[in-house]
Each structure stands twice: as C-alpha cells, then as structure tokens.
Structure 1
Amino acid sequence: MPRSIPQFRSSSRGEGDFTDPENPPTTRTAPPSPSAYRRAQSYLSEPHTGYQSLEAQLDATETTSLLGRRPSITEDDLHGRQASIPPSTKDALTASSFLDERTWYDQFTSTDWVHDSIADGARLRQLRQRKDIRGRLLAWVDGAQGWVLVAIIGCITAAIAYFVDVTEESLFDMKWGYCANNLFTGRGECDPDHWRTWSQIFGSSAKLQRPVEFFMFVAWSIALAAIACALTLLTKTVVPSSIHLSTLDENLGADSRNTNSRHDPGSAGTGSPSSDLSPHGSFPNKPSRPAMIYYSAAGSGVAEVKVINSGFVLHGYLGLKTLVIKTVALVFSVSSGLSLGKEGPYVHIATCVGNIACRLFAKYNQNDGKRREVLSASAASGVAVAFGAPIGGVLFSLEEVSYYFPPKTLFRTFFCCIAATLSLKFLNPYGTGKVVLFEVRYLSDWEFFEIFIFILLGVMGGALGALFIKASSLWARSFRRIPIIKKSPMFEVFLVALVTGLISFWNRYTMLPVTELLFELTSPCKSESKTGTGLCPHEDNILEIIRYLLVAFVIKSFLTVVTFGIKVPAGIYVPSMVVGGLMGRIVGHVVQYWAAKNPTMFLFNSCDISGMESCVTPGVYALVAAGSTMCGVTRLSVTLAVILFELTGSLDHVLPFSVAILCAKWTADAIEPRSIYDFLTDMNAYPFLDNKLQPISDAELGDIVRPSRKKRIIDISGSPFVPASELRSKLEDLLMAGELDSGLPILRDGVLTGLIPAPDLEFALDSLGEDEDHTICLMSMDSSIAIYDSENEDLLQDDFTRYIDPSPIALDAHSPIDLVYQCFAKLGLRYLCVLQNGQYIGLVHKKSFVKYMKDNE
C-alpha cells in the first residue's frame, strides 16, 4: 500500500470532523478524566509538595490548545521541524523535554533530579540573557530569594519552638495543681501563695493527700496523651495499594507482608533472580493488598524527612494541616509526661515550615530539586532550636537527613540555623537566657584516669542504644500484633499513659519532665547544694542515691521502649539521653564513692581534698553516657560531639565526648547495624537508597533486569503513530505495578530512540479528554518518517514528542551493580534502561533496585 504524509486534522470535543484545512481549530477543552480525579484525590486536599512546571498550570476546565498551548500538528509543522531540528537540537530538546507542563509528582513516586536540575539551568540561562540594569537587578533578586527564605524559616521555627516550650511547661504542672491568679502559669513562675495543689482543691485530709495527688497525676497523664493521640489521628492518610511499594506498617512491624513472595510459584519469571523485582510481581495473579495507612503527625518524622530529601514523595506530610496539628499535639504529648521528647518533632515541624515557605518564591515552588535544598536547611534549624546548637544543626543536616548537599546549601543552612537560634534566644522561653533547659557549664577539668571510664561509658551507651532498637523491633512485632492494639491506636496510647502514670509517680526522678531530668542528671554539684537526699549527696548517702537511680534507669528504659511508635508526636533524642544519663550518673557516683573511700589511692593523687566533686564530676559522666546512648540509637557522630560541646561550652570536655561517641558507634554497629532511622525506613517499606553504602555484590545489571514485555514498550518500527487507547493500556499496566514514576521506552527495530515518563504520559492522555479513543499520537522525534497509513487519516492526530526524553540514561547489561548503584544514588535517577549489543532488553526501576539491594544485604 502506498504511504504518504497525511493531511493532519484536529477536532474539538463535540464538533465532529473538521474539514477546512485553512482554518483549523486552535482550542480544545480538556475535561477531568478518571485518572486526573485519582491524582487529585491522592493529594487529600493538601497543598502538594512535588514538582511544578515552569509554565502555568493547566486547569481541567480551562479552554486551551493541547500540549503547550499550541494547535495539533499540521503538515507545516512537520516541514518546519524537518528544517529546524537538525542544525541545533540542544535548545529544542531542552524546551520540549524539560520545560513541560507537569503539575506535580504523584504520591509515593520519586522526583527526577536530572530533570529538575536541567530545568533550573534553563531558567538561569533565560534570566542571564538580559545584560541591562533591569536584568542585573532581576539576577540579584533571584540570588537573594534563598537568603530571605531561610531567614523567614528560621524565625518562624523559633516562634513555634517558643510556643511549644512555654505551653507544655504550664500544662505539665497542671498534673500537680494550678495557679489561682493565672491558670496558664507554671508552678515555677507562680507565686507560692497562689499555687493550689489538687489535694487542697478537693479539701483532702492528710491521710488522703497522697492518694488524691496520685489519682490526679495519672488522670492528667491519660487525658493529655489521649488529646495528643486524637489530634494525631486527624492526619490519617490512606494510599491505594496500587501505587505503593508494599503495605506500610502503621504499627512499626505489625504487618502482614508475605516474606516468601520471592518463592511464589505464581510469580513471573520464577527461578530468575529478577522475578521479584517488580513491587507487585505478576499482579494479576496476586491477591489485592489492603490500602496503606500512615499518620503524618505521629512519631518524630525525622526518618520520613530523610526519605523525602532523598527524592521520595509523600503528599501531605509537609503540609499546613500536618504543621498545625503536630505542633498542637506535641504540646499535649510532651506535657503528658510520657517518655518522649520534642526535639525530633522539631525537625519535622521546621521542615513543614520550609516546605510551606517555598511557596513564596516560584524558583523553589516550581522545582522539586531546589525545594529540597531548602528542606535540608529547614531540618537543620529544627535541631538548632531543639538543642541551642546552630553548628550541630548544620552537621545534622549534612550527616543525617540530606541526600544532596551542594556547597551553597551549606552556607545557607548555617545562616538559617543562626537565625533560628538567635530568634529563640531573644524570645527567651525559659526566662533564664538559655535556649534550652538542659544547657550546663562545667568548671573543673577531667583527670587522666577518667579517660578509661569514658571509653567504658561509650561502649555501654552504644550497646544500650543498639539494644533499644532490637527491643523496639521485638515489641512492635509482638505486642502490636495483638488485634485490638493494631486496630485501635487510641487504646494503645491509653495503656501506655496509664502504665507511665502508675509507675512514674513514686520515683522523684521518673516523675520529672525528661528535659528537666536530663538537666539535673548532667548538672555539676556545688558544695552548698549538698542536701544529702538529691543528686549531690554526702558520702554516707551515695549508695542510697544509686539505688534510686537504678530504679529510675529500669523504669525509664522500659517506658522508652513501649512509648516509641505510639500514635502521638514523639521524639527519641532526649529520652535516649535520659536513659544514658541515668546510667552515667550511676557510674559517676560509683567512682565518686570509690574516690571517697580510697583518697590515698594513686589514681586520686591529683584530686583536691576539699571535696568529692573536685575529683569526680558525676554530671560529666552522665552527659558522656547520654551522648553515647543517643549515638547508639541514631548513629550520629560528629554532630553529637558538636552538640554536646555547644550545650556545655567546654573545650576541655570535647575530647571525652568524642572518644566516648566513637566507641559507642563502633559498639552499636557491631550489635545492630541499623540506626533507628534505618529501622523505621525498613518497617515502613520506604524505597530509600542509602547513598553512604558501598554495594559488594558481584552481580551484573543483566542479572537483575526483567525481560522486556510488550506492554512495557512503545514500538514505532511500523509507524511513528500510536493509538492513545494503546498508550492508556500500557500506562495502566505501570500503575497496577506500582510504578507511577516509571516510563515507557520507545523502540524502533529494537533500538532505544527515547522514553516517555509515565507522569508525563498520564498528563498528556488526560488532556485528550473524551477524544482519547479517537486519537493517534506522534511518538517519534524524527519528523522525516512521520507517515501513516491512509486508512487512519480520519483519526485525530496529536504531537506527544514534547513529552519524550530523547536521551534516557542507559547502561549495558554487563555493567557491574556498583555502577548501577552510583547512577541511582548520585544522579538521582528514577529508572535505568538496559542495553545489550545496542539493543534494548529491559528497564530497571529505582524501587525495584532498592528491593534487590535490601534482599541481598
């Protein structure tokens, strides 16, 4: 049959065929399709956190031309492209492939770092083309936006931290009574004449005074925790099972995943090492999974912030609703007296502030790669206000939560932390001039013999932190598997609050707030402060204090394990430091007692005989052990050493802190290789690819790629036009496999000529509206072969080439796994094409590669 270039025609919905070639229609109304509705619902009415194009967003009801506000392709377009593309394709490819009309990334997909970087480069080139005064001014304003943005983030984060610090202190004291002249004043700031205890309010006799105080203490603990849980449950997010990697474990391990799925005989490619690489395998033969559920205000949020900064998309997790609810719920959860902290949630809250503030400037709002630079600075400001440590905040962002940290981001992050810390110091939440409550100062230096004790404390703290992770995992996989606990998060919070109130009331250390207890444990003693009953005892009372501390250590260790993972905002930093601080204080008092009983021993020859504190400072031991335990839990190293230095301001003790943290990290890695963040990431099945690891597999890329299937490719060997209905079928195949952020390679005679990302294809097909079933789409960048059978001339024809990536990154099948890892981790790819002898053989998705790496650890 003779083939010729057809006469291209376009038809608007409801207008029928258009036959006037001189006046083609220039507009088409794109009604919302089911896919568009599904995409909108995935946002749960939250402002999105993903990518926006550099062009204006296409509204579903807007009357506009298809694909870039231009008419459908015509014969003149083909001849024009024939003449214009060959001389210089660089600008054309940039415009068509990277300045597209995608509005955002879908839920549970990965960002395209390469796309965002090239798009930002195109924006900068356009900005710098102007050489006049106005152009220079615009360039200066563009450069200043980042500094203004991080300053705003720092100030707002400090204001939120001030609100939480002041409010939770007043609410916590209400467990003991209230201030008669000001209900919102804490016990420390209230005039003693106006403070009313609950036993006084109820007119209890001396015999009933203690039972009344105990009952009110427990009742307030339960009530405050229940309010925090009720607020947290408002952030429940349901994600359809068709778009996530695997069922999220909303109860930290209480999941129902089939761990033997790799050996399922119904899976495609059984016996092949790649048979299980697709998140759902051969999904038509698999039973449907339940919807995934997560609560964006629960926990600390640090692990999720880390995953988001790596390029993963969690819609609503950094939205305004989460910010408001988590801030208010955090006040109630901390004031309830549960064994949790507010420092971790500060990181999440600050990141929410950063995400929302990005909407002030289009440069960050419309580019997800640039947005994540701001999120890194925001997370750092959260640590800065939590510990009063701006340098520690910068190192925390660099060491823990940031995936991509260019040099310019380092300085802006430092500026953001300084702004946050200065603002909080001016606000003065505690009325003492301190940014945090547990800031301490040591006046005496350490003795040489103590270095061995510091090493011992580092080993003990690292082991304690690693055992905490194992205990949390065991608790999650046992207690939280109980049906009533799994179905009712509120009931679990009630039980934990009840147990906390019942056993914390009777010990003077466990009844204190965690921050106040940490301050007491790490504070040095003064000779005039020795009362014989507190943490600065006389020689005869040391053993009694050790017994009290041992009981408090056991109680706090148990409560920290059972509290971690409940559905309230909760951090693990300070609770782990408190447990370690109790252990360190016990060791410090033991050494102190030893020195008091053996003053003439050679180890203590340099000690001043004026008092025990001049030789051994138990507060130093407590802080060393506290930092070591936190290192064992989080695996932070340099960050922790700097934070402890900033808390104490003592250069003399930097060396003991550093030595203990080194020993703690080595010990913890030997017992439990995963940090608490790795544990949460694994339990929640987030596709996080750690860029700090080194793969040791001897496999090749061809060993893990699945054979190419017809539904996963677009073959233009016979014709450059593909029916839209066929493209929709291929797209649905990707969606059902949980690969919304994958793509469809375009082949001609087995050779890879391009790739169209699934989000772009979905956007383009949705724009067709009701004409989708009657449309064929041009999928070839080479206009010289844009011909089609004359029998299909009556179909609507549209140009999809602007959505095609003409140069997808591809590797040979014999490439080592280490090279594949570097491409995914360093380039931020979402998928990688695989070639063999120049012929396309398959595609490896990032989620599939992450799953392969985890299965082979």
Structure 2
Amino acid sequence: MSAKSRRPPDLTMSLPDSPDPASTPDSPTYSRRAPLLRATSSVSVSEVTPLLQPGTSRRRSLRSTRHHNRAESWSQRLVTALTTDHHIRDHTRESKVPAEPDDRVWYDQFTSTDWVHDSIADAYRLKALRSRTDIRGRIKAFFDGTQGWILSALVGCLTATIAYAVDKSEAPVFDWKDGYCSKGFFLSEKRCCPEGGRCDSWKPWSSYIQIPHVNEGSVEYGIFILLVVAFSTLSCVLTLTTKTVVPSTYRISTLDENLGAPNLQESNSPNDVASPAQIDKPEVAPPMIYYSAAGSGVAEVRVILSGFVLHGFLGVKTLVVKTVGLILSVASGLSLGKEGPFVHIATCVGNIACRLFSKYDNNDAKRREVLSAAAAAGVAVAFGAPIGGVLFSLEEVAYFFPAKTLFRTFFCCICAALTLKFLDPYGNSKIVMFEVRYLTDWQFFELTAFIAVGILGGATGALFIKASRKWAQSFRKIPVIKKRPLVEVMLVALLTGVVSYWNPYTKIPVAKLLLNVASPCDAETRNDLGLCPADMDEIFPVVRDLAIAFFIKGILTIVTFGIKVPAGIYVPSMVVGGLGGRMIGHIIQWIVLRFPTSPLFGDCAAHVSGQSCITPGVYALIAAGSTMCGVTRLSVTLAVILFELTGSLHYVLPFSLAILVAKWTADFIEPLSIYDLLTNLNSYPYLNNKHKPIFTSDLADIIPRVRRERLIDISTSPLVSAESLREKLEILHQAGEIDGGLPIIRDDILVGLIPAPDLEFALDNLEDESNSLCLMASVTSFDSDDERGKDPTDFTPYIDPAPLALDIRSPMDLVYECFVKLGLRYTHKKTFVKYMRELEEKEGHV
C-alpha cells in the first residue's frame, strides 16, 4: 500500500474511532473493498438502537446498519433534503452514507469526527477536480468554490425567514391569554390597537364568556391560567415526539437538560471485561432517553461542532417540532426565551442545506464549517446583531474557526440581517429585538456603580447555575417528575400562570419587559409600566415593585430551566439582571437627588433634564449583560450585542467594564458556565480547548493495562478465526467502546490497527463466520490474485497499517496537544476528557 493510500494516523494506544470513507474520493484504500450491499435499516431516531439488547445473536452485528445510494442529481438532492423520512436521512449523521454502494456506514451514534481523515479526503477530491483542464472541468471547479457561499447565503435567508415566522406567530398567540381582536382573530394587541394601550377593537374573554355568579376578573384570571397551561402542555407534547432511546452500552449518563436524571455508574476501566464468556449474559442497564427539541440546544450544538455525533439533533423533524413548539412555549408566558433555540434552529437549517451539495454532505469536517456559520446566523436574527453573531460562533460554539470560516460566517450573518430587514418582523424597519437610545452621557463617579452592578450581575448568574443544579437534583428526582416530563411542565405552567397574572412586570413578554426596564426616562420614550418616577417620593415605590418582580422572575426562571419544551436562557437571564439593575439605578438616582450639593456628584442633580444625570435604564442594561455573562460566560460577544442594541458609543466602555468584572466574579463563584455544566453532567466527551489544566503526569496514568483479548496477535499466522475476532469485538462493545479498535501486533511489535466499526462490517459480510479464517496482514500470494474478485475474508483494506502511536511514557501535555491542535479522534479521548475533569476538580476549578 502506497503512502498516499494510507488512512489518517491514529493513536494505537487509544483505540481509534472509525474514519469515514464516505467523504473520500476514489483513493486506493477504499477502492479495494468487496462490492457487498448492506440492508437498509428501518430504525428511526426515536427507536431503540439494537445494541447489546437481550437476545442479540453473537453471529450478527450488535448494531444496526444503514445504506442507500447517493448517486443523485442536484434536483433530487433538493427534494431529498426537504424530506422528513428518517429512514433515508437524519440529522448530522444518522448514517454516514457511503459514496459508493460497496462502502460501509461510518460515523455511528456517539462517535467522533475524524478531522484529519476528512481533510485528507477533501484534498483528494480537490486534486481530482482541479486536474481537469477542459471547460467543463473549470466550470465545475468554479461552481465547487461557490458552494460554500451559496450555502451561507441560503442558510442566512432561511434562518431569518423562520425567525420572522416565529416572531409574527407567537405575538398574537401570546396575546390570546388576555383576549382577542375583533378586527381579526390572528392580530396581536399591538397591531389591533396601533395607537397603544387597549382599544375598543380588543375584546377581553369576559365579554365573550360569562359565568353566572362569577365576576369578570375571575373569568379573565381562569382563562389566563388555562391558556398558559394549555400552550405549555401542547409544546411539551410536541417536544416529546422527538424522544430518542439510547442503549446503556453507550456509557452516557444523561442526554438532555434534565440535570436531575440518574447517572449510571461507569466501570473504572474499560478493561473490566475479563473473558468473552461474560459477554453471553451481560447486565443490561436501563436505556437512556433524550429529547432533541427540548431546551435551547446550544450545549449540544457546541458538542456537535467539536466533532461528536449526536443523532436526531439537527434533522428535519427536530427543526419542525422545535419551531412550532417554540412558538407555543414563548406564547405561554413561561420564563424562557427564543434566542437560544434560534441557534439550534439555524444549525438544523445549515445541516439540512448541506445535503444539497455532496462536497458538504459527504464530509463532516466541511459540514461543520457551514454549521458554525449557521449558529452565528441564529444569534444574528435573535438579537438583530450580525457582528455579535460572528463573535458568538467564535467565542462559544465553534471548535475550529479558520479565517475562511470567519469571513463566510460574517457573510451568512449579513445575509440573515438583510433578509430580516426586508421582512420587517417588528413593523418598525428595525432588525434589533428592541432598540434604546441614551442621550445623556455617563459621569466618572458612576464607574464605581457600574463595577458594582457588574459584580452583582456576575454573582447572580453564577448563583442561578448553582440553584438550577440544586433544583434539578432534588425536585426532578421525584419518581413522577422523572418518569413523566409532562407533569413537570404542567406544574411549572400552573405556577407561572397563578403568580405572574397579578404582576404587570411578569405578565408581559420577556423581550418587552427588558425593553421597558432598559428604556430611559425622557420625553421621547414612552414607558408603559410606570418606571419613570416624577419626584423623589415615587422612587422607592418603583424600587419595591421591581424587587417583587425580580424575586418572582428569578424563581420562575430557575424552575423553568430544563423542562421539556423549547426554551432559551439568554433573555430571561437578562430580564432578571435588568430588574435588579433598574433597582440599583433608581437608588443611585435617589442618592444624587437627596444630596444635590455633594462635590462627588457635581451638577448631576441640576441636570438640564429637570431630574438628574442618572439614567436607570443604563444600569438595567448593564446588569442584564452582566447577568447573562454570569450564566453563559460570553464576554466580547455580549459587549458587542449591547452596543448593537443601543448604538451608543458613549456606553461601550461601561458595558465592557461591567461584563469584564462580571466574568471574573462568576468564574470565582462557579467556574462552569451553564453550557459547560450541561456538557459535563451529560457526559459528552467534549474536550474544552479554552482551558488547559496543569499536567504533571504521563500517559501511563490514564491508560489501563492492555489485555491479550484486546489484541490481535499475528505472530504465528496472518490468518485469524472469525469467531475469535467476533469475541474480541463483543468485548469492546460490552465495555461500551463502540468506536474502539483492536491493535494488531507481530512479535510484540505494533503493525496495524482495525477499528471496531470496520471489523464489525467485515464480519457481517462473511457468509460462514463460524468456519472462516480472516486475513489480517498483506500477503503477496493473496494480493496478486485481484482479477478473481475480492475475498470477503481479506480484512486488510480495513486495517490502518501505520497508526500514530505514542509511548506510554509520553507527557500528558503532548497528549493534550495531539487531541486539541491536531484534531485527532480516539476512543480514549473520552478517557482523557474524564481525566481532565477529575484533575480540574482536584485543582478546585469545577
């Protein structure tokens, strides 16, 4: 085998995941495979993957396989991309479908992308494409270069269109809890009464529904609670349709935002299986369940972009269910937002759009370039901040972000912003969620207050994470709540409806509440909630009302986070912080007016506005950003988003300073962001490349003793019985190493490695497994007889003859650099991630 035909290097000591020749051009490695077709599986994402289920035959594959042909025209790809048939397509890689009918399915559930292999595969593809010098070849090469830009523009436009549909749909549904418009049932209160306030065209439900001996207020209250519960329940029912059952063999503890789900105990070592005889009667732990449309999806998007395969999170069904469910959950009035789910929805759009071009459809590394741009477009349409969207992708979700991807992401966000500007969802020719303008500049003595607000906001965000974890690990451990997520949703909706109806701050939408608390008090700005006191005596009543709303909204946000509906945490956390910041702003305003002659304040109390130079809305917006920073640990992104929301150059420095202090404070109280917490508790093998622990050990500290049943020894003969190979494969599967591999040694020297998925595929293609001997090394007499056809017992095409190996005494820093900077993928990458987390816990960082 020539050097060019070799597959990308893997670490032998860490049992590599399977590479993906589906994205590979006609390289010699994959052209040697026997032309054997695989049966199409009828298993959908909502069904149990038959991995190590009771009664599984040892002569059959332990995992289902899928196959279909990709030889389609572009128009056929367009139709296929829009289909919801999960037997054909599903999510990031429900099945890594082969480019040739004799290739196998590659990326399986909970395995990792082989970045090196996909890069090499794309290089082969480009070389073959550019080798053509004729006109048709040049045209194809030019079209190939424009596909990324076409996808970026398409994803941006489609994301903005979906965001427009969500914004226009949830507004009238939200207002239905208070009544309806007589001019049109599907008109929101704002469109029904454009002058502001209630008008004659807006009819309360008490005018249509009258109950004897019950006053109108009680009828309105009852209908309000009923619709809150009904919308929430319907959203939850839709979300539960995206249920996916995962066999316990995958060794993933909990796979959704239910932080109170029980963690399954992992064995201390994947080598605990001592003999193949134990495989016959395995202990089957209860399966795990996740719902792809629940929560915000940002944590999962981040894990997917790091190269981890999660089936069902970016498919067509998830897109449809999440969009409709988001409309209902936001309209119900629960303390949640739609901004986080927009990131997930946009990533779904990007994943589906990639199916139009085989360049991205067959190559997961290329696909994730588009997904990074799509995630940025989600933030761009959520906040109307295209630059903030680019920085969000760079700072939060993207794992690998070269300059080419950066520029393409910026283009995607601009396309999304332009489309949103054209559609005009808010009816004011603006693309921002809300827009405030501060005409009064800040004073130097306010810097101390801004820093204090940043500290309090960061602390609030960190305490929110701790409170959410405690709530989930206590309340969600109740058997009824754990088994029936719908019950929890209904209880939270009932509590929200009962409590929020009587408070004007908690009854309105979270985006509108944030706009009101951040708005300045001037003649040009109208505040419908009475947040602009006319004199000193009115300040403390406003502070009292804000404190009540702060407490109610904080509690509701804590109990709402993690329920099984599409829900974001961005704006709710900003609202909680905004309420607290507005309180601080009014208190400082009172102090300035109480001591007008203090030299510290100068002439602030005698401001030309007639009140003071203090703008409480500024404190609200700074606190909103600081609290969101404490929850998500976004920094530069938040400062830019706040600037794009206000357009005030004067306040860039206060915004940045407060967010900086908030991040320091939150890291001190709770080192993990809300998405780091979800990633860790869900046991995703996400290697955080932003935080490197201090290593003082070597590779031997995390690599267990290698047992003979984990090796293929060809010292005496290159022929190995298929039965022994099946037993070794089952040992790997029983240990949860579905993406593991078996090193091949000769005279105690490493000569190759065969990944478990490749070995499984090869064994499944044997007609008589019990009597077959498999060739595990190249032999001249065998290789020279190619004209007679491919021998299914020849396993050499599946063997990596030159895997990258590290000495057992290699320093852990070298291992870290291999994983993070080289982008290699290995089974024991998960072991390495676990080791890093344990090390961080010992150092007090977690």
TM-score category by the smaller chain? 0.7 to 0.9
- Equivalent in 125, 128, 134 of residue 127 of structure 2: 125
1:825 is aligned to 2:825: no
Q: CA deviation at 1:778?
A: 2.2
Shift of 1:341: 0.2
By how many angstroms is 1:152 displaced? 0.4
Q: Which residue of 2 aligns with 1:599?
A: 596
* Greater alpha carbon shift after TM alignment, 474-483 vs 198-207: 198-207
After alignment, is 444-453 or 626-635 more displaced? 444-453
Contact 2:765-2:792 at 8 Å conserved across structures: no
> Contact 2:39 / 2:65 at 8 angstroms: preserved in 1?
no
Instruction: Show CA shifts across 1:436-480 (max 9, x none).
Output: 332222222111111111100110000000000000000011111
Deviations 1:335-360 (A, max 9, x none): 00000000000000000000000000
Equivalent residue for 1:303, pick from 299, 302, 305: 299
Residue 455 of structure 1: SS of its match in structure 2?
helix
**Residue 544 of structure 2 aligns to which amino acid in structure 1?**
R
Which of residues 379, 383, 394 in structure 2 aligns to 1:398? 394
Separation (CA, whole Å) in 2 of partners of 1:401 and 1:779: 41
- Taking the TM superposition and a 5 Å limit, the aligned residue runs for 1:288-687 are 288-527=284-523, 534-539=530-535, 540-607=537-604, 608-611=606-609, 615-687=613-685
3-state SS of 1:747 partner = strand
Q: Does 1:50 align with 2:50?
A: no
Contact kept in structure 1, 2:351 and 2:367, CA below 8 Å: yes
Q: Is the 8 A contact 1:716 1:748 kept in 2?
A: yes
Q: Give, in angstroms, the shift of residue 698 of structure 1.
A: 1.2
1:156 is paired with a residue of what secondary structure? helix
Q: Which moved more, 1:711-720 or 1:575-584?
A: 711-720
Alpha-carbon distance between aligned partners in 2 of 1:40 and 1:127, rounded to the nearest angstrom: 29
Q: Answer yes or no: is the 8 Å Cα contact 1:741–1:830 preserved in 2.
A: no
Is the CA contact 1:170–1:185 (under 8 Å) kept in the aligned structure 2?
yes
Say whether the 8 Å CA contact 2:270–2:735 is kept in structure 1: no
Of the structure 1 ranges 799-808 and 553-562, higher mean CA displacement relative to structure 2 is found in 799-808
Q: CA separation of 1:538/1:354 partners in 2, compared to 1, >3 Å: closer, same or farther?
A: same
Greater shift, 720-729 or 519-528, is seen at 720-729
Partner Cα separation in structure 2 for residue 27 and residue 660 of structure 1: 63
Q: Select between 231-240 and 774-783 the one with higher mean Cα deviation.
A: 774-783
Deviates more, 1:110-119 or 1:163-172: 110-119
Tell me which residue corresponds to 1:235.
242
Greater displacement, 477-486 / 748-757: 748-757
Which consecutive unaligned segments of at least 5 residues does structure 2 have?
Answer: 1-33, 41-58, 68-84, 194-198, 841-846
Deviation at 1:543, TM superposition (A): 0.9
Per-residue Cα deviation, 1:469-522 (whole angstroms, up to 9, x for no partner): 000000011111111111111110011001111111111101111000001011
- RMSD of Structure 2 on Structure 1 (CA): 2.7
Whichever residue aligns with residue 35 of structure 1, its letter is: S
Equivalents in 2 of 1:755, 1:782: separation in Å? Answer: 17
Aligned residues: 758
Tell whether the 8 Å contact from 1:46 to 1:315 is kept in structure 2 after alignment. Answer: no
8 Å Cα contact 1:715-1:748 kept in structure 2: yes
Letter of the aligned partner of 1:588 in structure 2? G
1:571–1:216 distance in 2 versus 1, CA, 3 Å: same
- Supply the distance in 1 between the matched residues of 2:733 and 2:583 (Cα, whole angstroms): 57
What are the ranges of 5 or more consecutive residues in structure 1 without an aligned counterpart?
1-25, 59-67, 69-100, 270-274, 789-794, 832-843
CA contact 1:529–1:536 (8 Å) conserved in 2: no
Please state how far the C-alpha of 1:52 moved relative to its aligned partner: 7.6
Over 3 Å counting, the alpha-carbon distance change for 1:386 and 1:706 in structure 2 is: same
Distance 2:381 2:308 in 1: 26
Q: Matched residue of 1:413: which SS? A: helix
Alignment of 1:11-160 (within 5 A): 34-35=60-61, 38-40=64-66, 47-50=90-93, 56-58=99-101, 101-160=103-162
The normalised TM-score by structure 2 is 0.85
Separation in 2, partners of 1:433, 1:797: 65
* Counterpart Cα distance in 1 of 2:491 and 2:127: 60
Q: What code does the residue aligned with 1:147 have?
A: W
- Give the TM-score normalised by structure 1: 0.84
Name the counterpart of 1:13: none
Please say if 1:775 is aligned against 2:772: yes
1:102–1:759 Cα contact (<8 Å) kept: no
Mark the CA change 1:249 to 1:316 in structure 2 (over 3 Å): closer, same or farther.
closer
Task: Trace 1:170-185 onto structure 2 (pairs within 5 A).
Answer: 170-185=172-187
**Displacement of 1:655:** 0.5
Paired residue secondary structure (1:338): coil
> Which residue identity is paired with 2:93?
G
The one-letter amino acid paired with 1:848 is T
Change (3 A) 1:285 1:342: same
Write the deviation string for residues 637-663 of structure 1: whole angstroms up to 9, x where unpaired. 111111111111111111000000000
Pair 1:806 & 2:791 matched = no
How many Å apart are 1:283 and its aligned residue?
8.2
Counterpart in 2 of 1:200? Answer: 207
Task: Specify the alignment match of 2:13 in structure 1.
Answer: none
Distance of aligned partners of 1:812 and 1:787 in 2 relative to their CA distance in 1, 3 Å threshold? farther
C-alpha distance in 1 between matches for 2:737 and 2:258: 25
What amino acid sits opposite 1:380 in the alignment?
Answer: A
Superposition deviation, residue 133 in structure 1: 2.9
Given residue 174 of structure 2, which amino acid in structure 1 is its aligned partner?
F
Match of 2:709 among 704, 708, 711: 711
Going from structure 1 to structure 2, the CA distance change for 1:781 and 1:219 (only over 3 Å counts) comes to: same
1:172 CA displacement: 0.5
Q: Give CA-to-partner distance per residue, 1:708-756, whole Å, 9 cap, x none.
A: 2222222221222223333222222222222122221111111111112
Task: State how far apart, in whole Å, the 1-side matches of 2:590 and 2:279 are.
Answer: 67
Q: Match of 1:849?
A: 832
Would the alpha carbon gap of residues 256 and 609 (structure 1) be closer, same or farther in structure 2, given more than 3 Å must change?
A: closer
- The offset of 1:250, in angstroms, is 6.0
Cross-structure match for 1:702:
700
Q: In structure 2, give the amino acid aligned to 1:309.
A: L
> Structure 1 pair 135/29, CA: closer, same or farther in 2 (3 Å)?
closer
Q: Partners in 1 of 2:214 and 2:96 — Cα distance? A: 71
Q: Which residue does 2:18 correspond to in 1?
A: none
Question: 1:187 pairs with 181, 186, 189, which one?
Answer: 189
Alpha-carbon distance between aligned partners in 2 of 1:449 and 1:205, rounded to the nearest angstrom: 61
Report how far residue 529 of structure 1 moved. 6.0
Distance in 1 separating the partners of 2:279 and 2:449: 57
Distance in 2 (CA, whole Å) between partners of 1:128 and 1:619 is: 58
**Cα deviations across residues 155-177 of structure 1 (Å, max 9, x unaligned)?**
00001000110111110000000
Match of 1:603, SS state, is: coil
Q: Does the 8 A contact of 2:98 with 2:105 survive in 1?
A: no
Residue 531 of structure 1, CA deviation: 8.2
The residue type equivalent to 1:135 in the other structure is G
CA distance in 1, matches of 2:372, 2:747: 45
Say if 1:595 and 1:612, in contact at 8 Å, map to a contact too: no
Q: Tell me what 1:168 maps to.
A: 170
Deviation at 1:533, TM superposition (A): 6.8
CA deviation string 1:586-626 (max 9, x = no partner): 00111111222222222332435333665011111100000
Q: Distance in 2 between matches of 1:456 and 1:292?
A: 44
Give the equivalent residue in structure 2 for 1:7. none
Max Rg structure: 1
Aligned to 2:835, the other structure's residue is in SS state: helix
Report the secondary structure of 2:140's partner residue: helix
Distance 1:613 1:294 in 2: 54
